[in-house]
Amino acid sequence: MRKIKNGIILAGGNSDRLWPLKDKIFTMYLGKSFISYLTEQLSQYCERIFIVVNDLNKTQIQDVTKNLHTYIVQNKQYSGMAGAVMSCSGKLEGEALILNASDYFNFEIISKIIEKSQDRSIDVILIAKKVNSYFPGGYLTIDGNTVISIVEKPLPQETPSDLVNLVIDYYKDFDQFLSYIIKTETHRDDWFENGLNLMLTKRRVEWIQYSDYWYALKYPWNILQLMKFFLFQIKESANDLTSVTIDPSATVSSKVVLGKNVKIGHYSKISGPCYIGDNTVIGDYSLIRESHIGSNCLIGSSSEVARSYIGNKVSLHRNYIGDSVLSDNVLMGAGAVTANFRFDEKDIFSSVSGKKVNSTMRKFGSIIGKRTKIGVNSVIFPGIKIGTNSLIGPGEKVTSDIPDNGLFFEGSLKKV
Amino acid sequence: MRKIKNGIILAGGNSDRLWPLKDKIFTMYLGKSFISYLTEQLSQYCERIFIVVNDLNKTQIQDVTKNLHTYIVQNKQYSGMAGAVMSCSGKLEGEALILNASDYFNFEIISKIIEKSQDRSIDVILIAKKVNSYFPGGYLTIDGNTVISIVEKPLPQETPSDLVNLVIDYYKDFDQFLSYIIKTETHRDDWFENGLNLMLTKRRVEWIQYSDYWYALKYPWNILQLMKFFLFQIKESANDLTSVTIDPSATVSSKVVLGKNVKIGHYSKISGPCYIGDNTVIGDYSLIRESHIGSNCLIGSSSEVARSYIGNKVSLHRNYIGDSVLSDNVLMGAGAVTANFRFDEKDIFSSVSGKKVNSTMRKFGSIIGKRTKIGVNSVIFPGIKIGTNSLIGPGEKVTSDIPDNGLFFEGSLKKV
Amino acid sequence: MRKIKNGIILAGGNSDRLWPLKDKIFTMYLGKSFISYLTEQLSQYCERIFIVVNDLNKTQIQDVTKNLHTYIVQNKQYSGMAGAVMSCSGKLEGEALILNASDYFNFEIISKIIEKSQDRSIDVILIAKKVNSYFPGGYLTIDGNTVISIVEKPLPQETPSDLVNLVIDYYKDFDQFLSYIIKTETHRDDWFENGLNLMLTKRRVEWIQYSDYWYALKYPWNILQLMKFFLFQIKESANDLTSVTIDPSATVSSKVVLGKNVKIGHYSKISGPCYIGDNTVIGDYSLIRESHIGSNCLIGSSSEVARSYIGNKVSLHRNYIGDSVLSDNVLMGAGAVTANFRFDEKDIFSSVSGKKVNSTMRKFGSIIGKRTKIGVNSVIFPGIKIGTNSLIGPGEKVTSDIPDNGLFFEGSLKKV
């Protein structure tokens, strides 16, 4: 099978909606960063890969690109996806496949694109997924194989179809696509879609239906779904037990991946699928279920971690962490708990840019930013997010989001 | 040995004092309802059994009576024990033994009644128990074998004897007894006793001393004493291990009865005597001591249940439940605790109809009604009762009783 | 080797700074009181031992002195160290070695004193330890082997040397020393030092350098350092297992000393060095690390005790006790926690006589006086001290010291 000449990964977005999480493309799953998964997969289908990054992650991206791929720092003059592709102007020519670094899907769909691209009369090939319930994305209006228009984020009652566009766009001639972007007026949010819509009226645009898994890192809790996907990739496998220490009284089920120098204490139980990173210590009486734990953590005695994503250098002690995301260097004092369900058993909502968003999860704990410390016996309510570098006092109840650098003591936010 | 012609179980009472518990006659012990224990025992001594119920439990009683026994719905016009026997008017004739469905005792005493009843000159046989300390019941004044009078709930310093009347009354002629009830004025509370006292002056009434165990379900915490009695009936016995799953790392002592499909997790310890109902899961690191747990419960990881009665479909998670009663469908969040002793080590009091009642227990936790949910890290003070369908927020301290449908958040009752 | 004729242990001090701890000389380490360690060690170097006590401990001291040593009750007229030696006036004659019952060190240094004392022209021999950082003690000004003066508690920038005087003083003629004390004016605090300084100008005073361990019981948390010293004396040794009960599922590491009738429950882990006194029960799921636990304690289920000193008859239940001192008869309800580090990872300060004192410990929990009870799910902040006979309600946060007999409920001190 031939490869597409150019693959472009758009990874320069700001992702305000992911707050307090940062660097989604560098989030590790099973010991590998998300962006590495994308490039490795895409390499199977594209000859060259371009990664469009922003100023903040241009240093870190070099560990990924090395000599294999090219990174392009997004021109600050242009924002959004259109801005990202504009920044590629002059860097590549000919056909291009454009991906968004927020999405994960079964890359085999690209072989269907390659097949369809044999027909050189097709200028653009889009991918669409049939949805059962409303999703705030772009909906296709089609006529057979042909895409007539894309309606961006229509009201739920006004969707023109049940086909949501995934950003896995094939352009036969990248410069041709750029010319439509340039012709379109510069709207911040829907510039990319406007350019594409203009092109739809002038060029031949076809579509392919996709019906396999699709993960979109839109909100911080989406990490939990992606984590689950990766955890369920773990096969029964013998760990390299030369550097790992498992107390004979501990119980480690199958489908548990243990990093180097992992230590598992007395009477602890790891119920797979689980991933535990290098040098992490699971103390005594700790119960880990369906979770992803980073490296150099101390998952202190008598803790329970269930269906949660734990970063690196996290310290726990006698905690219950359920359906939560704890970033690097988070510390929780003894007895602190993430509450993770509502009494009415309804879906848990979380505040995003001032609006309550339905997580669609009935069990959902907290999202905690880097270096934040939580005092002993504190309670974090379901769906709450706490920023980076924040401090929550002992015995506190956290019932609303805490900003970055927040100091929460005696029931109120003392400082931001 | 001959049987008494009619046995009447009075089970129509309202039991306000048992709040928030309901349906005391259907409370299960070792897999059987309390009323079933009563009917099975009584069947050994009576030919026919009549159960007087109220409107609310008339449907449920039919599972017990089936074709074996007769149930009578108490006439709403009459209340109390006298009303209950009035409702039996015309339904039976001849001799009758009358029991109260609140009491449990050694039924062998009835064989002594049967023996004494051979003397057909005796119209009534009453049972009395010698008490060491004051009990708020009816006290007998006697002259040899003859009962002179019954003094209902005298002041502690005015008890005429140390003989308390138990409701295990034999009447040679039920209609004769009814006639005295009818002759007496209709007082709500002591009508039955008035009728009996009138009869004492006209008829030959003798008594038998009883000195074995006696459990009266007067207050909700009395369930704990009755539970203990039943638990201590458990003999060393092999459970049917075909459907039960016990992790090899768990410890199950002798005198533990396990229902069908019970699962016991890693490092859990069941210290008998204990009863665990069908389909209940005891999670990891859970310690169960001298407790009675219903069916379909999830006694979540790292919980400790000591000397407590747990209903069906109860969910626990990292809780300490001591000397408490949790009704069906109660849910407790991680780290919630029932405090169960006073700092001064004195007896724990509990509010009943607005009055503080001494439970006579130095260790006594909470009584929690059906479907009530308790938030993570909350504390319930000793002797506190929480109604049905109530919600207690996370991290709350509950220091006084919470009514049915109560909503307790941020230190106060938000809604009733 | 010859012995010094008289050894004097000054044990009559009030030790306000040790509040809420009392009776430091009777604190037990590895089954023996501190004063017994002192007398046993000193007996190797002195013929007779005199212990100067105060009115309060004169009864208890008799268990230690028996017929072996002499105790002298300090004359109330005189306070401080000078008062203590004044109280010895007429009780002994000739040479004397004077120790302070607050200090522990390697007694072998005394053999060097004995050696030097062969030179009968030396009137006094003092011991000094080179310090790396400022210590609030007496500093020596020296000229070769000769002591020129002692500067008592100079300002840190005004220390005349880095040699701190330890109270291990040898006097060739005790009465001669007393005469200098008498000649000096009666200052409360530095009377002893004034007498010694006067003597320095008139007599030949030499010094010996000491460079081994030295523990000074100045603040209550110093018990933790002394405890650690004693724990690390424990050698691998077979306990007398005839009276001890260790569940087969428990884990007891080496260097754990178990008293008579100690019971260790299911799934508990004792990680040495540890000392556990007679009749103490370690419940199920309990983790004890580098700690000293007295006799007749109930270290209840699911507790963790780390680097802590626990007195006798202490009851724990699902607690975390870290870097703390719990006196006799302390009781902690389920889920109560001692917080033991600051979020900023700085040294923990503690209030002593109204002044904040740096404990120089980065991990330091609480000091709790005798018979104090702490409610369920309560939190004690780092460095907090709670007096004797105090009560802390359930779910409280204790952020400042609580006096003796304090009653702390609903966030405030209700009574003192």
pLDDT bin (cut points 50, 70, 90) of residue A416 is low
Which domains occur in chain C, in start order? Answer: 4-218 (3.90.550.10), 229-415 (2.160.10.10)
| Residue C166 in this model has a pLDDT that exceeds 90 | yes
φ, ψ dihedrals at C109, nearest 5°? -60, -25
| Residue B188 in this model has a pLDDT that exceeds 70 | no
The answer to whether the beta carbons of residues C269 and C285 sit under 8 Å apart is no
- In this structure, chain A runs to a length of 416
Q: What is the pLDDT of residue C359?
A: 95
- C260-274 residues labelled b (16+ CB within 10 A) or e (exposed): eebbbbbbbbbbbbb
Indicate the average pLDDT of chain C: 94
- Distance, in angstroms, between C36 CA and closest chain A CA? 37
φ, ψ dihedrals at A2, nearest 5°? -70, 160
Mean local confidence (pLDDT), B291-301? 97
pLDDT bin (cut points 50, 70, 90) of residue C296 is very high
Q: Do C339 and A394 touch (CB under 8 A)?
A: yes
Instruction: Dump pLDDT digits (tens) for B362-382.
Output: 999 999 999 999 999 999 999
Mean local confidence (pLDDT), B311-334? 98
Q: What is the pLDDT of residue C18?
A: 94
- In this structure, chain B runs to a length of 416
Among A331, A332, A377, which would you mutate to test the C interface (most chain C Cβ atoms within 10 Å of its Cβ)? A377
Residues of chain B contacting residue C318, judged by C-beta atoms under 8 Å apart: 304, 320
Range A250-253 contact pairs with CB under 8 angstroms and sequence separation of 24 or more = A250/A282, A251/B249, A251/B266
| A302: closest chain B residue by CA | B302
Residues of chain B contacting residue C373, judged by C-beta atoms under 8 Å apart: 343
- Distance, in angstroms, between A336 CA and closest chain C CA? 11
Q: What is the rounded radius of gyration, in angstroms, for the C-alpha atoms of chain A?
A: 23
Q: What is the pLDDT of residue B187?
A: 59
Residues of chain A contacting residue C251, judged by C-beta atoms under 8 Å apart: 249, 266
Q: Do A335 and C267 touch (CB under 8 A)?
A: no
- Which residue of C301, C335, C373 is in closest CB contact with B335? C335
Q: Which chains touch B (3 or more CB pairs under 8 A)?
A: A, C
Tokens of A360: 């669609």
- Which residue of C249, C285, C375 is in closest CB contact with B339? C375
- Distance, in angstroms, between C343 CA and closest chain A CA? 7
DSSP conformation letters of C72-92: EEPPTTS-HHHHHHHTTTTT-
Residue B272 and residue B235: Cα distance in Å, rounded?
A: 10
Q: Which CA distances in Å does C28 have to C71, C227, C278, C331?
A: 20, 9, 12, 19
Residues of chain A contacting residue C379, judged by C-beta atoms under 8 Å apart: 375-377, 394-395
Using the structure block, give the residue that is written with the tokens 């380490």: C29
Residue (of C285, C290, C359) closest to C316 by Cα position: C285
| Residue C186 in this model has a pLDDT that exceeds 70 | no
Q: What is the pLDDT of residue C238?
A: 66
The answer to whether the beta carbons of residues A371 and A389 sit under 8 Å apart is yes
Which of B316-320, B331-335, C133-137 is the least confident region? C133-137
Q: Which CA distances in Å does A8 have to A92, A98, C145?
A: 10, 5, 82
Residue (of B124, B133, B196, B138) closest to B166 by Cα position: B138
Ramachandran assignment for A157, one of left (phi > 0), alpha (psi -120 to 50 degrees), beta (any other): alpha
Mean local confidence (pLDDT), A137-152? 93
Instruction: Dump pLDDT digits (tens) for B123-179.
Output: 999 999 999 888 888 999 999 999 999 998 899 899 999 999 999 999 999 999 999
Q: Do B375 and A335 touch (CB under 8 A)?
A: no
Return the percentage of chain C with pLDDT > 90, whole number.
Answer: 83
- Distance, in angstroms, between B266 CA and closest chain A CA? 8
Indicate the average pLDDT of chain A: 94
Residue C365 and residue C322: Cα distance in Å, rounded?
A: 6
Among A249, A341, A397, which would you mutate to test the B interface (most chain B Cβ atoms within 10 Å of its Cβ)? A397
- Which residue of B251, B304, B379 is in closest CB contact with C301? B304
Q: What is the pLDDT of residue B238?
A: 66
Q: What is the pLDDT of residue C153?
A: 87
pLDDT bin (cut points 50, 70, 90) of residue B68 is confident
- Which residue of C302, C317, C333 is in closest CB contact with B302? C302
Return the percentage of chain B with pLDDT > 70, whole number.
Answer: 98
Q: Do B343 and C373 touch (CB under 8 A)?
A: yes
Residue A113 and residue A1: Cα distance in Å, rounded?
A: 11
Using the structure block, give the residue that is written with the tokens 């004897």: B161
Residues of chain C contacting residue B266, judged by C-beta atoms under 8 Å apart: none
| A410: closest chain C residue by CA | C397
Which residues touch B248 (CB under 8 Å, ≥6 apart)? none
Q: What is the pLDDT of residue C71?
A: 93
Q: Which chains touch C (3 or more CB pairs under 8 A)?
A: A, B
**HEC string for chain B:** CCCEEEEEEECCCCCHHHCCCCCHHHCEECCEEHHHHHHHHHHCCEEEEEEEECHHHCCCCHHHHCCCCEEEECCCCCCHHHHHHHCCCCCCCCCEEEEECCEEECCCHHHHHHHHCCCCCCCEEEEEEECCCCCCCEEEEEECCEEEEEEECCCHHHCCCCEEEEEEEEECCHHHHHHHHHHCCCCCCCHHHHHHHHHHHHCCEEEEEECCCEEECCCCCHHHHHHHHHHCCCCCCCCCCCCCEECCCCEECCCEEECCCCEECCCCEEECCEEECCCCEECCCCEEECCEECCCCEECCCCEEECCEECCCCEECCCEEECCEECCCCEECCCCEECCCCCCCCCEEEEECCEEEEEEECCCCEEECCCCEECCCCEECCCEEECCCCEECCCCEECCCECCCCEEECCEEEEC
Mean local confidence (pLDDT), C218-229? 97
pLDDT bin (cut points 50, 70, 90) of residue A79 is confident
Residue C395 and residue C375: Cα distance in Å, rounded?
A: 7
Mean local confidence (pLDDT), A47-70? 90
Q: What is the pLDDT of residue C188?
A: 62
Residue (of A156, A157, A155, A152) closest to A141 by Cα position: A152
Asked if ipTM goes beyond 0.85, one says yes
Residue that wins the pLDDT comparison between B16 and A266 = A266
- Distance, in angstroms, between B316 CA and closest chain C CA? 15
Q: Do C339 and A318 touch (CB under 8 A)?
A: no
pLDDT bin (cut points 50, 70, 90) of residue A242 is confident
Instruction: Dump pLDDT digits (tens) for B263-291.
Output: 999 999 999 999 999 999 999 999 999 99
Q: What is the pLDDT of residue C191?
A: 86
Q: What is the pLDDT of residue A13?
A: 78
Residues of chain C contacting residue A267, judged by C-beta atoms under 8 Å apart: 267, 269, 285
What pTM was computed for the model? 0.94
| Residue A413 in this model has a pLDDT that exceeds 80 | yes
C-facing residues of A in 287-306 (CB < 8 A) are 301-302
Q: Do A394 and C379 touch (CB under 8 A)?
A: yes
| Residue A188 in this model has a pLDDT that exceeds 70 | no
Mean local confidence (pLDDT), A20-36? 94
Residue (of B309, B274, B267) closest to B288 by Cα position: B274
Tokens of C317: 């239940």
- Distance, in angstroms, between C297 CA and closest chain A CA? 22
Grouping H, G, I as helix, E, B as strand and the rest as coil, residue A80 is helix
B-facing residues of A in 312-341 (CB < 8 A) are 320, 322, 335, 337, 339
Mean local confidence (pLDDT), A82-108? 95
Instruction: Dump pLDDT digits (tens) for A365-378.
Output: 999 999 999 999 99
- Distance, in angstroms, between B378 CA and closest chain A CA? 10
Mean local confidence (pLDDT), C196-205? 93
| Residue A412 in this model has a pLDDT that exceeds 80 | yes
pLDDT bin (cut points 50, 70, 90) of residue C416 is low
The answer to whether the beta carbons of residues B97 and B45 sit under 8 Å apart is yes
Residue C410 and residue C415: Cα distance in Å, rounded?
A: 12
Grouping H, G, I as helix, E, B as strand and the rest as coil, residue A220 is coil
Q: Do C339 and A334 touch (CB under 8 A)?
A: yes
Mean local confidence (pLDDT), B385-389? 97
Which residues touch B27 (CB under 8 Å, ≥6 apart)? B21, B33, B34, B223
B346: exposed, middle or buried (Cβ count in 10 Å: 0-12, 13-18, 19+):
exposed
pLDDT bin (cut points 50, 70, 90) of residue A216 is very high
Chain B contact for C285 (CB, 8 A cutoff): yes
